[in-house]
Chain A
Amino acid sequence: MYQGRIPQTITLTINIIDQYPFPAIITDLSGNIMKSNLLFQEMIGLNSTANPALSFFDLCKHPQQSELIQTFKNLADFEKPFSSDFDIQKLSLKEIIKVHANLSAVKSDQDILILFFLHKSSDKQNKNFVFGTPTNFWEQLTESITDWITVCDRHCNIVNSNRYSMDIMQIPANECIGKKIYDYTRKLNDEINKDFFEDVISNQTFRIIDIHHYPGDKCFKLTIYPLIKENVLIGTVNSVRDITAIKKSEISLKESDKKFRILTENLPGTVYLSDIQPPWKIHYISSSIYKISGFRSDSFMSGKMFFDDITHPEDRKQVADIIKEKIEEKKPYQLEYRIIDKNNNIHFVNEQGCAIYDHSEEPSYLEGFIMDVTEEKIRGKVITDNEQLFHAVFNQQYQLTALLKVDGRLQDVNDSALEMIGWQKKDLTGMFFWDCPWWTKTRQSQRKLKNAIQQFEQKGEVKFEVINFDRNNEVRIIDFSLKAIKNDEGKIINLLAEGHDISDLRKMQMIQEKMVRKYESILHDSKLGIIISDKKGVIQEINPYLTEITGISSEEVIGRSAIKIIQKIMNPGTSRLVIVKVRELLSGESFSEFHIHFNGHILDIYSPGYIENVGIVAFVRDITELKKTEEMLIASNQKIRQLAIRNESIREEEKQSIAREIHDELGQMLTAIKMDVSWLTKYSDSEKVHERLTLLTSLTDNTLEVVRKISTELRPSILDDLGLRAAIHWYAESFSKRYEIKVKLKLNSSLIIKDKNISIALYRILQECLTNVAKHAYASQVKIYLDENRKEYIFEIIDNGIGIDLSKAQKPDKYGIAGMNERTLAFNGIFRIQRARKDGTKITVKIPKP
């Protein structure tokens, strides 16, 4: 059903414009009307059927004639159909009719013609009708031609005839009565003779036959109805219909269809008709889709494949969205997306199209054109980014140099200006400069130019900006100047018009202005004090907030040396520090941050150094409140720590005392027992007693060992007796023995830690760390360093295990890290845990010397 519609839509030809049920005209590319239908003639009030030499532009004062002509060209280049509103003036000049026109191009062998299908804008119902073909079109055509009807007896004698015998056979009806029907039909075609009719009568069959009448190049349709009464044929009813017009239309349609196909097949792209939504069922697609996709057009038209099947999955949504949006806006669409062909190669395609609307203005199909732009893309890609940028800027930098006659007519113009509008020099030469296509899109520009040229003699050289639109309809700002060219006698012989596209410059200026505004707003609204000086230290600017926090006003300081001001307003101690910092910045230092006390405030001063085009910048933050809070926090933390230290030392004392208790009471008693048993063993001769004493000795030894262990766990006496180094040695040895992990020690032998609390803290950290190593690290070796510098004790434990998961380690109390950290902080030390350089974990503890 739909197959035939595309050709019909686009290829309505000269022959059938007469049949078109709305006003329609055909023009050439310049708008001259070649043919119009009666409805159009009626509309404009033209009585004669002759076509007077009229231009569409005579009837329609279109403001942008040149643009329209360009549109015609585009149409001829098979771009999207175009539609627009026009004001058409009746020939009587009294009335203006507002019409909506749909334009499309028809190409014959020599000419390109433009078809206008018009309807009054008020006639909303038909607004988009043109893209469809009137359904009753062919019926209208056939009804307009009336048949010659005859009734014959069974011997083929005509017994009745209607008046249309005149139209068909050029004889009056009464003259043919009593004559044989085949005598007439034979005249139309030899084969429709006596034998033919006798055959029909003897077979009693209903016949329809097309007759070609060659000499007259006419076509007729003959229909024979047998008249049967009680099973006996009594005669026939014959109808002869002139179907020449229909046949011709069909033939021309076929030819047009062929032309259309040839045209579409040879276009560098693919024409299609599809559903209005994904997956884009295809109703027609030209065979060139094979070139792009590797699939034949039949695959799509048979419904086996949808267009989405070849659309790049990443682009499908975008394509659907854009088309949907444009359908809603009733606008043509233009897309660029990727197609994946049969061999999985990617093609970039450019697609243009529009929706076809039905009688109720509902979109029913999409009609469009797809072009493979892969090569352009690839070529484009070769150009580097910079080159692209350069080309983009360069191409937009449209420059116009035109030589005008004194009256403003164009004499000569440069090529790039012509390129911009796509015109030939010869077509413009002699045209008034302001009427040239550069300016016709804005009347204001035209007026401005016209005034400048016409008033040149009085006002002289001028320079101003005019607005123009480029090919993509983007606004361009043209810096325009008009100068005189004089002869030797000083008479003006020509005008030189020059235009430079300064749109990009303006854009840059706007960006710059925006940045300046932003900069100023930062400076004025910031809740940071800002000082800017030049490279020599002369203050250029301060912001209001700086005045607010320091009381220094801009009048006092701008244009003066920063160092002198510092000396003046700060106390000697502070100013010395600040001046050192300022001098560093002046000598090129790129970063500085420090705190000062000033006027009862604590100020945090931060400078990123010299910033290009701005100067040396410093930011000043009032951190008085922050510092107070911080100090309070530190103080409270300190208190908590002190408490923790006290708690810890009480606990340690308790442990120590329990350890002693166990040792002194239990341990010594057991030792005494052991001594007695030894004595008994020495002085007893009884073997039985000896046996029992051996058992007792072993029992005592075991008990002693347990006591020793408990006591040592609570408090290793070695720490008190011999100090931290010996304790580390002892602990490391027992650890190594127990877990079979090698321990390497590097302990500064001259180091003596007098503060027992520090010793015990470090010893406890060691215990915790080595426990972690044994449990989690899978290490084969641990290195322990103990050293000191002038200020602090440094303790490091490094294992070669799997390394700690630092994120897990941050969790409170995981691996006892919080505890180790607290023990260190109790002495204002630093506790650090990190991954070792190769594998494993490194713990560093630094405790300031008391």
Chain B
Amino acid sequence: MKEALKIMIVDDSVFILERIINFIAEINEVKITGICRSADEAFEYLSGEIPDLAIIDIRLKDSSGIDVLNHIKNKQLKTVTIMMTNYPSEQYKQACIDLGADYFLEKSFEFFKIQDIILKMIAKKTLR
């Protein structure tokens, strides 16, 4: 059996987490290995495991998803990053891209794209 795609989700809202998890669960060959509700939890998780994909909400309680992105890039992890936000300003997008984020999605409109991104990643992995 092929090794499943390891995914971590960083979001502080239970409602959102619930929906993203349900949404991803529809796809085979993925495994949600980490659910973090703050940047600190994410750092802790990342110290033990390196996911293939990190879905990160920018706005977190008392912290910022950008810090998590920064952490991943600073540690030069191979994790693909999807940054999500409810405040899709150019500044955020630019900041995320500058820091090396792979995707920048507006949460309420574009969360469907998560599925596409995952499917693409699986296809790529299989090809390899």
A and B from one complex: yes
B111 — nearest CB in chain A belongs to which residue? A675
CA–CA, A678 and B20, complex, Å: 12
How many residues of chain A get a CB closer than 8 Å to chain B's CBs? 30
Q: Are B87 and A671 in contact (CB-based, < 8 A)?
A: no
Interface string of B1-27 (1 = CB under 8 A from A): 000000000001101101100010000
| Cβ-defined partner of B86 (8 Å) among A660, A667, A733 | A667
Q: Judge whether A584 is part of the interface by a CB distance below 8 angstroms.
A: no
A729 — nearest CB in chain B belongs to which residue? B91
Q: Are B108 and A701 in contact (CB-based, < 8 A)?
A: yes
CB-defined contacts of B64 to chain A, threshold 8 Å: 720-721
What is the predominant secondary structure among interface residues of chain A facing chain B? Answer: helix
CB-defined contacts of B13 to chain A, threshold 8 Å: 664, 668-669, 671-672
Q: Are B89 and A663 in contact (CB-based, < 8 A)?
A: no
Listed by A's residue number, 9 A-B pairs whose Cβ atoms lie within 8 Å are A671-B86, A672-B15, A674-B108, A675-B111, A679-B23, A708-B86, A722-B92, A726-B95, A730-B89
CA–CA, A700 and B61, complex, Å: 23
Q: Which residues of B contact A (CB under 8 A)?
A: 12-13, 15-16, 18-19, 23, 58-59, 61, 64, 66, 86-87, 89-92, 95, 107-109, 111-112
In this complex, the member of A671, A701, A727 whose beta carbon has the largest number of chain B beta carbons within 10 angstroms is A671
A700 — nearest CB in chain B belongs to which residue? B108
Q: Judge whether A682 is part of the interface by a CB distance below 8 angstroms.
A: yes
A717-B87, A722-B95 known; A675 and B108 CB under 8 Å? Answer: yes
Interface string of A622-666 (1 = CB under 8 A from B): 000000000000000000000000000000000000001001100
Q: Are B108 and A704 in contact (CB-based, < 8 A)?
A: yes
CB-defined contacts of B58 to chain A, threshold 8 Å: 721
Q: Are A668 and B16 in contact (CB-based, < 8 A)?
A: yes
B107 — nearest CB in chain A belongs to which residue? A671
10 interchain residue pairs of minimum CB distance:
A668-B13, A672-B15, A674-B108, A726-B91, A675-B19, A721-B64, A671-B108, A730-B91, A722-B95, A671-B107
**Minimum Cβ distance to chain A for residue B98 (Å):** 10
**Minimum Cβ distance to chain B for residue A180 (Å):** 149
CA–CA, A708 and B15, complex, Å: 18
CA–CA, A670 and B107, complex, Å: 11
CA–CA, A717 and B65, complex, Å: 12
CA–CA, A730 and B93, complex, Å: 12
Interface string of A690-732 (1 = CB under 8 A from B): 0000000000110010001000100001101110001101100
Q: Which residues of A contact B (CB under 8 A)?
A: 660, 663-664, 667-672, 674-676, 678-679, 682, 700-701, 704, 708, 712, 717-718, 720-722, 726-727, 729-730, 733
Q: Are B16 and A671 in contact (CB-based, < 8 A)?
A: yes
A717-B59, A722-B66 known; A668 and B15 CB under 8 Å? Answer: yes
Q: Are A672 and B91 in contact (CB-based, < 8 A)?
A: no
CA–CA, A675 and B84, complex, Å: 13
CB-defined contacts of A663 to chain B, threshold 8 Å: 59, 86
CB-defined contacts of B12 to chain A, threshold 8 Å: 664, 668
Given contacts A668-B12, A671-B16, 20 further A-B contacts (CB under 8 A): A664-B61, A668-B15, A669-B13, A671-B86, A672-B13, A674-B109, A675-B16, A678-B112, A701-B108, A704-B108, A718-B87, A718-B89, A718-B92, A720-B64, A721-B59, A721-B64, A721-B95, A722-B95, A727-B91, A730-B90
**Minimum Cβ distance to chain A for residue B23 (Å):** 8
B62 — nearest CB in chain A belongs to which residue? A660
**Minimum Cβ distance to chain B for residue A756 (Å):** 13
CA–CA, A718 and B64, complex, Å: 10
